[in-house]
Amino acid sequence: MTETAGRLPWITSDVPGSGGAVKASPEDFRVDEIPAYLPSGQGPHLYLHVEKRGRTTREVVRAIASALGVDEREAGVAGLKDRQAVTTQWLSFLTPKDPDPAAVFGDGFRVLGASRHANKLRTGHSRGNRFQILVRGGDLGAARACAAALDARGFANFFGPQRFGAGARNADLGRAILLGRLDAAEARRAARDRFLRRLCLSAWQALLFNRWLAARIADGLFDRALAGDVMKKLESGGVFHCTDPEADTERVRRFEISPAGPMFGHKLRPAEGEAGAREARLLAGEGVGQAELKRAGGEAEGTRRAARLPLRVELEPAADGYRAIFELPRGSYATMVMGELVKGDTDLAEGGDG
């Protein structure tokens, strides 16, 4: 594992992993998107519930838009799903057509249902994802011990390796954008490709969040509140500053709240006191200050991400291993859950977290 998503501390590091192979075939890895809402049945946007295998979300959007004769740029998705998996999700298209769902299909995808809604689907219009993952050759008893430890201790909400691109190059480019240190070719590309620019800046933010969380764990602060921490309410998403570390630590351990780590940006709500000093040292180590963060503009304004989440993993025996079944909120990574269960050098590559 890389510095960005691996060389990170497993919360269950004292519990032996199950071993085994993850993703030996796409059917071993199923992801079902959990929508934030269901279509109402009325409105200008056609909503299609799609199942795909061996295709990216963008490829399927392009194919369906072409079949409907509409501009793919007007299509809506709540999140991107992995190519090497069987996945389901809703897609939206601005069209008056109401095709027979059974007639809309293509290589590697089919439409399971159709409806209509008033608005376009947008990034974030999902509650999360439900995963069903087969581990071939994995030891079920060992996996159960790891799952029990996660249930008791909580899940460390690290970003997975797919967030950073091949060789973690995207995070390096994100920092270079902030510091104004792109070479001429990179600068031209970043100027004309806003998607690439946002991708690289978000990878840099994720890298620093991972470092912040790894340091909290190393210092015994994973399930503790520090004075000045920005805390997140896990039910509502509301945030507040910790002024009573003892009381808030008890709430953390009940999974009511969590320390909320920095996704640095010029509008980030700063932590205070000891917690603020830890974040300031992390940012200073990158040579980045407010002036550099403002260079990102609206593409990296800053936000907060919960560090510790409750996680219940169901395990089922399979003919040649076991199946892990669990749900994660939007933006959390199944790769990191499977790393806790399997450990070792198993290939956990996963493209898209939705």
Q: Tell me: the pLDDT tens digits for 281-329?
A: 999 999 999 999 999 888 899 999 999 999 999 999 999 999 999 999 9
Residue 195 above 60 pLDDT?
Answer: yes
Q: Tell me: the pLDDT tens digits for 26-57?
A: 899 999 999 999 999 999 999 999 999 999 99
Q: Indicate the SS3 state at residue 166.
A: helix
Give the integer Cα–Cα distance in Å for 116 and 48.
Answer: 8
Q: What per-residue confidence (pLDDT) applies to 229?
A: 98
Average pLDDT, the chain: 92
Give the integer Cα–Cα distance in Å for 10 and 7.
Answer: 9
Nearest to 208 by CA among 291, 310, 305: 305
Residue 118 above 50 pLDDT?
Answer: yes
163 versus 251: the higher-pLDDT residue is 251
Q: What per-residue confidence (pLDDT) applies to 4?
A: 52
Give the integer Cα–Cα distance in Å for 148 and 144.
Answer: 6
Q: What per-residue confidence (pLDDT) applies to 110?
A: 96
Q: What per-residue confidence (pLDDT) applies to 350?
A: 40
Give the integer Cα–Cα distance in Å for 282 and 7.
Answer: 18
Residue 348 above 60 pLDDT?
Answer: no
| DSSP bridge partners of 321 | 136, 318
- The torsion angles phi and psi of 345, rounded to 5 degrees, stand at -105, 25
| DSSP bridge partners of 94 | 45
For the entire predicted model, the pTM comes to 0.90
Residue 236 above 60 pLDDT?
Answer: yes
**Alpha-carbon Rg of the chain, whole angstroms?**
21
Give the integer Cα–Cα distance in Å for 305 and 231.
Answer: 9
Q: What percentage of the chain carries pLDDT values higher than 90?
A: 80
Cβ proximity of 126 and 83 under 8 Å = no
Q: Tell me: the pLDDT tens digits for 244-293?
A: 999 999 999 999 999 999 999 999 999 999 999 999 999 999 999 999 99
Q: Indicate the SS3 state at residue 157.
A: coil
Q: Tell me: the pLDDT tens digits for 93-110?
A: 999 999 999 889 999 999
Q: Is the dihedral of CA 306, 3, 86, 120 positive or negative?
A: positive
Per-residue pLDDT averaged across 172-188, rounded?
89
Nearest to 324 by CA among 138, 159, 156: 138
Alpha helices in the chain (DSSP H): 57-68, 140-153, 169-179, 184-192, 194-218, 245-253, 273-284, 290-294, 334-342
Q: Which residue has the tokens 């180590």?
A: 285
Cβ proximity of 222 and 308 under 8 Å = yes
The Cα-based distances of 257 to 173, 179, 230, 234, 243 in angstroms read 33, 34, 10, 5, 14
Confidence of residue 347 (pLDDT cuts 50, 70, 90): very low
Give the integer Cα–Cα distance in Å for 354 and 129.
Answer: 7
Give the integer Cα–Cα distance in Å for 218 and 10.
Answer: 11
Residue 332 above 60 pLDDT?
Answer: yes
Q: What percentage of the chain carries pLDDT values higher than 70?
A: 95
- The torsion angles phi and psi of 325, rounded to 5 degrees, stand at -125, 125
Q: Active-site residue numbers? A: 82
| DSSP bridge partners of 114 | 48
- The torsion angles phi and psi of 58, rounded to 5 degrees, stand at -65, -40
Q: Indicate the SS3 state at residue 120.
A: coil
Q: Which residue has the tokens 């620019």?
A: 197
